[in-house]
């Protein structure tokens, strides 16, 4: 199945956690940390992130990696977080009693977390060798130190 603009579609997998009891803005803050990272590195970042939402995002990413490994037969070390986004879920509305018979509304927000991983195309050895070839270096200019002429 061809993708957009005749670009080759890289194999991958995705995972979705729906109705997660975290506000979407807080979850987006964590998801933005891992978008575009290699999957193993993203797991490490999430493991040590101090935000509460990082635990839920970690589970979704681990599930996406497991889906790629088991369903698509992909190498988990060659996976990249290609897509990661958070959509708003339904909001539960509750009331908090206040003074003089008033009631304040409390909104308990939920979100849907989606993470997609894809296999990175391995670079050919010839192209990698061309990129790592050192460029011509200019000869270092000789400089005199100020301590020589001070005496």
Per-residue confidence (pLDDT) for residue 109, from 0 to 100: 97
Per-residue confidence (pLDDT) for residue 90, from 0 to 100: 98
Strands 79-88 and 92-97: unpaired
What's the pLDDT tens digit per position in 51-109? Answer: 999 999 999 999 999 999 999 999 999 999 999 999 999 999 999 999 999 999 999 99
Q: How confident is the model at residue 130 (pLDDT cuts 50, 70, 90)?
A: low
Helix axis angle, 53-71 to 24-34, nearest 10°: 50
CA distance 57 to 31: 7
Q: How confident is the model at residue 5 (pLDDT cuts 50, 70, 90)?
A: low
Indicate if the pLDDT at residue 1 is higher than 50.
Answer: no
């Amino acid at each position: 199945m061809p993708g957009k603009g005749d670009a080759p579609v890289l194999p991958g997998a995705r995972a979705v956690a729906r109705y997660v009891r975290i506000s979407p803005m807080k979850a987006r803050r964590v998801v933005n940390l891992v978008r575009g990272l290699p999957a193993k590195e993203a797991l490490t970042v999430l493991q040590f992130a101090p935000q509460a939402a990082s635990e839920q995002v970690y589970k979704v990413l681990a599930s996406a990696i497991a889906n790629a490994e088991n369903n698509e037969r992909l190498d988990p070390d060659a996976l990249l977080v290609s897509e990661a986004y958070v959509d708003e879920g339904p909001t539960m509305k509750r009331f908090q009693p206040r003074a003089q018979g008033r009631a304040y509304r409390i909104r308990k927000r939920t979100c849907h977390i989606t993470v997609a991983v894809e296999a990175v195309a391995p670079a050919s050895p010839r192209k990698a060798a061309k990129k790592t070839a050192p460029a011509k270096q200019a000869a270092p200019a000789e400089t005199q130190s100020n301590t020589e002429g001070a005496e």
